[in-house]
């Protein structure tokens, strides 16, 4: 791939050209020169003042392969990712069969050479049943950078303790999806005023916060690092903030929709807004945004969760949790009021640091791993330009502000 990007404003805290407007010359997938008025015989893409950021990296992405390819497969998932500006995905093992050594190797090998780099996460417990420790080291040798039971929270404190201790031996990282299922029960929405008005049983914030507190105690006791996935409540943020002040090795992420939506959108019983953890209150959203800005929350994830129409276009009570979100992440984060510097930190730099994968920088002699975005461009998300295999998004048919113009990585380029 040979390409000259002209007049791009670089937003990359790790780049010596951060906040500078410059031309970027890419030859054979490598940034060979950054400067002003670069001349070249290669194809020219006029950025016209648009912004170049390091390629986005999603720490929480569901792709159906293996087992649920009717929801999403690697081909469609990575195409949707590239269209959303993502050049890296951490795949959560919410598939069947779940990720073991064999599945991790299959996904790593199948995704080799793709514009979007794929990093399967291994399971903590065998078959995600929460009983016996999975073969973490074998999966680590096969390419698993971290371990999680996905949307099956680990209820057994002893199992979580053993996982934290065992992973230390090879510098592995345990992801905690914090939910006490005994308290959450089979409820579908956040417990509060809206759930009462809807006449629906709610999931208390306490269900998440108890598990955050438990796993922080376990991390302190074992001296292990821990990462919390999809934090959603004000109290969870407070607990993690205090743990960081006390020197615990803790990181956390939040889903885009928990930064931008509240449970008030559920008044119409639209199942496209049914996610887990559930949409919370405006007070929680304010606390989450404050956590993003003060560094308590290290990363932002899409929690991209595709479903066939028969699993979402049904009564709210029986609909599955989740929405597709790879292509709509950028405009929603801009709508939430985040700056491009904050987006670069939380969606590009920190996710790679947390997962210990190769860092990327918009600098000379570095691999061209970047996304070009226009923060003012408006576009409508439709079934025609949706590249996912599924359509479960509340944003279909809506006009969004903030567009990905092109995505570069691994000597390949995607243009919108």
For the chain, what are the domain ranges? 3-51+364-415, 54-355
Categorize the per-residue pLDDT at 96 as very low, low, confident or very high, splitting at 50, 70 and 90: confident
Q: Give the pairing type, strands 21-27 and 3-10.
A: antiparallel
Residue 214 token pair:
């438990």
The whole-angstrom distance between residue 104's C-alpha and the CA centroid of its chain comes to: 19
Arithmetic mean of pLDDT, 17-39: 94
> Crossing angle of helices 157-168/205-222, nearest 10°?
40
Count Cβ atoms below 10 Å from residue 158 Cβ, excluding itself.
Answer: 9
Q: Please calculate the CA angle 303-374-39 and round it to the nearest 5 degrees.
A: 125
**With 90 as the cut, is the pLDDT of residue 37 above it?**
no
What pLDDT score was predicted for residue 95?
84
Q: Which of 33, 79, 230, 221 is nearest to 150 (CA)?
A: 230
Summarize pLDDT for 236-283 with one digit per residue, the tens.
Answer: 999 999 999 999 999 999 999 999 999 999 999 999 999 999 999 999
Summarize pLDDT for 296-306 with one digit per residue, the tens.
Answer: 999 999 999 99
What pLDDT score was predicted for residue 111?
93
Arithmetic mean of pLDDT, 194-219: 97
Mapping DSSP to helix (H, G, I), strand (E, B) and coil, where does residue 395 land?
coil
Share of the chain above pLDDT 90, in %: 95
CA–CA separation, 296 and 269 (whole Å) = 32
Residues 6+ apart with CB under 8 A from 242: none
Categorize the per-residue pLDDT at 179 as very low, low, confident or very high, splitting at 50, 70 and 90: very high
Structural domain 3-51+364-415, CATH architecture: Roll (2.30)
Q: Which of 253, 243, 251 is nearest to 220 (CA)?
A: 243
pTM (two decimals): 0.96
Say yes or no: do domains 3-51+364-415 and 54-355 share a fold.
no
Q: Which of 114, 5, 41, 58 is nearest to 256 (CA)?
A: 58
> Crossing angle of helices 282-294/234-245, nearest 10°?
20
What pLDDT score was predicted for residue 35?
94
Structural domain 54-355, CATH architecture: Alpha-Beta Barrel (3.20)
What pLDDT score was predicted for residue 264?
97
CA–CA separation, 170 and 149 (whole Å) = 19
Start-end of H helices in 152-204: 157-168, 181-184, 193-198
What pLDDT score was predicted for residue 40?
86
Summarize pLDDT for 379-409 with one digit per residue, the tens.
Answer: 999 999 999 999 999 999 999 999 999 999 9
């Amino acid at each position: 791939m040979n390409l000259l990007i002209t007049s791009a404003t670089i937003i990359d805290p790790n780049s010596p050209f951060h906040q500078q407007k410059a031309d970027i010359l890419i030859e054979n997938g490598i940034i060979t020169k950054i400067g002003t008025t670069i001349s070249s015989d290669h194809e020219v893409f006029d950025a016209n003042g648009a912004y170049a950021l390091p390629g986005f990296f999603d720490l929480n992405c569901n792709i159906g392969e293996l087992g649920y390819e009717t929801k999403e497969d690697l081909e469609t998932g990575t195409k949707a990712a590239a269209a959303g500006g993502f050049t890296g995905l951490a795949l959560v093992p919410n598939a069947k069969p779940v990720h073991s050594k064999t599945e991790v190797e299959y996904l790593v090998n199948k995704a080799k050479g793709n514009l979007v780099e794929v990093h399967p996460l291994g399971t903590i417990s065998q078959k995600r049943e929460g009983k016996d420790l999975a073969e973490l080291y074998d999966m680590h040798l096969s390419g698993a950078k971290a371990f999680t039971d996905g949307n099956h929270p680990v209820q057994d404190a002893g199992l979580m303790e053993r996982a934290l201790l065992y992973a230390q031996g090879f510098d592995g990282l345990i992801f905690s999806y914090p939910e006490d299922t005994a308290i959450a029960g089979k409820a579908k929405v956040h417990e509060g005023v809206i759930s009462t008005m809807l006449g629906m049983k709610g999931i208390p914030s306490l269900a998440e916060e108890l598990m955050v507190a438990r796993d922080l105690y376990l991390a302190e006791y074992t001296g292990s690092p821990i990462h919390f996935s999809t934090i959603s409540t004000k109290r969870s943020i407070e607990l993690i903030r205090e743990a960081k002040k006390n020197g615990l090795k803790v990181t956390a992420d939040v889903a885009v929709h928990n930064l931008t939506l509240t449970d008030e959108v559920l008044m119409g019983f639209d199942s496209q807004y049914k996610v887990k953890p559930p949409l919370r209150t405006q007070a929680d959203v304010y606390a989450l945004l404050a956590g993003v800005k003060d560094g308590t929350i290290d990363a932002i994830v899409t929690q991209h969760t595709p479903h066939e129409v028969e699993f979402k276009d049904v009564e709210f009570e029986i609909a599955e949790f989740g929405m597709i979100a790879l292509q709509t992440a950028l405009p929603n984060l801009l709508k939430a009021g985040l700056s491009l510097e904050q987006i670069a930190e939380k969606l590009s730099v920190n996710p790679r640091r947390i997962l210990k994968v190769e860092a990327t920088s918009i600098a000379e002699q570095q691999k061209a791993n970047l996304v070009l975005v226009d923060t003012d461009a408006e576009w409508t998300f439709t079934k025609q330009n949706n590249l996912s295999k599924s359509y479960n998004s509340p944003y279909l048919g809506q006009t969004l502000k903030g567009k990905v113009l092109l995505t570069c990585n691994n000597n390949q380029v995607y243009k919108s």
